[in-house]
Structure 1
């Protein structure tokens, strides 16, 4: 059965954002260990570089956990392929002339655009874009106030 509306936001992100909607938090949500997963051996070399570059930072802020291996690997692989396509475009240009004389766009243009979109989606999930970061307050309180009654009302 398909769900409607926006996909639910993880409770950890709601807490970091200060629970702006003031809706009840899901206290039964799974809480995986906040530890970076091991880098998959099958990643391309450039993807492995990106993995090493980003894992410590994401682990430190509590966004990357062991269960996020596939999603983060997807981001890193998309990054590597996007970079490869962009390097090709820098070296060879974006258009070429066909044998019949027509001007045509090289396939790497659409490859780069595709992988950039995939990267953007993964970046949003991990808080790696400026707009997704504005919704996160690192070190934010757990939503508790000095007023116990207010805390109880927020839980309902």
Structure 2
């Protein structure tokens, strides 16, 4: 039985297709019509994020905007990533402070188990990885964007290309 509309690879968003250098050689009108086009624009940072999460937001938002990977509707996904990063940082700092007891703790019955701080760090790391994949914030996610190709020389300064090079894209 043949596949249906849900089988096969998903279409890439137009900005990601363009960032990859148009490897399929599609005319620009075909890959730009792959869905609703949203304006590349940095959303405001949510006030409820922790101090560390806000710092992470400020660190990456401009680069995501330059790369064309963020719009206002992506606010929630980026907030999840940033808060997970803040939670992970806090848990890792506590583990470092507790030294060996930050990794393993002993139950009242004498069994050894992973500490609560280590469990929190691991869960935050999982959340961070899942949300970060949406924005190419780790090497495997960047590889799926397919931006590691040979680039054509540039005649004029290109802020988007400079930011891509900064992240190894």
With the shorter chain as reference, the TM-score category is 0.7 to 0.9
SS of alignment partner, residue 25 of structure 1: helix
TM-superposed deviation, 1:28: 5.1
TM-superposed deviation, 1:46: 1.0
Aligned CA distance change for structure 1 residues 6 and 122 (closer, same or farther; 3 Å): farther
**Partner residue in 2 for 1:83:** 89
Tell me the distance in 2 between the aligned counterparts of 1:21 and 1:123.
Answer: 26
Tell me the distance in 2 between the aligned counterparts of 1:87 and 1:52.
Answer: 21
CA contact (8 A) 2:15 2:32 kept: no
TM-superposed deviation, 1:137: 6.3
Aligned CA distance change for structure 1 residues 4 and 87 (closer, same or farther; 3 Å): farther
SS of alignment partner, residue 92 of structure 2: helix
- Structure 1 residue runs of 5 or longer lacking an equivalent are 142-156
Greater RCO (CA < 8 Å, at least 6 residues apart): 1
Aligned CA distance change for structure 1 residues 6 and 79 (closer, same or farther; 3 Å): farther
TM-superposed deviation, 1:37: 0.4
- How many residues get paired? 139
CA contact (8 A) 2:19 2:147 kept: yes
- Structure 2 residue runs of 5 or longer lacking an equivalent are 1-5, 153-169
- Choose which of 91, 95, 112 in structure 1 pairs with 2:104: 95
Misfit runs of 4+, over 3 Å: 3-8, 19-24
Tell me the distance in 2 between the aligned counterparts of 1:66 and 1:123.
Answer: 16
CA contact (8 A) 2:103 2:114 kept: yes
TM-superposed deviation, 1:75: 0.6
TM-superposed deviation, 1:4: 4.9
Q: TM-score, normalised by structure 1?
A: 0.75
- Is 1:107 aligned to residue 116 of structure 2? yes
Matches within 5 A, 1:139-154: none
Matches within 5 A, 1:28-67: 29-67=35-73
Tell me the distance in 1 between the aligned counterparts of 2:83 and 2:127.
Answer: 10
Aligned CA distance change for structure 1 residues 110 and 20 (closer, same or farther; 3 Å): farther
SS of alignment partner, residue 126 of structure 1: coil
Tell me the distance in 1 between the aligned counterparts of 2:46 and 2:74.
Answer: 12
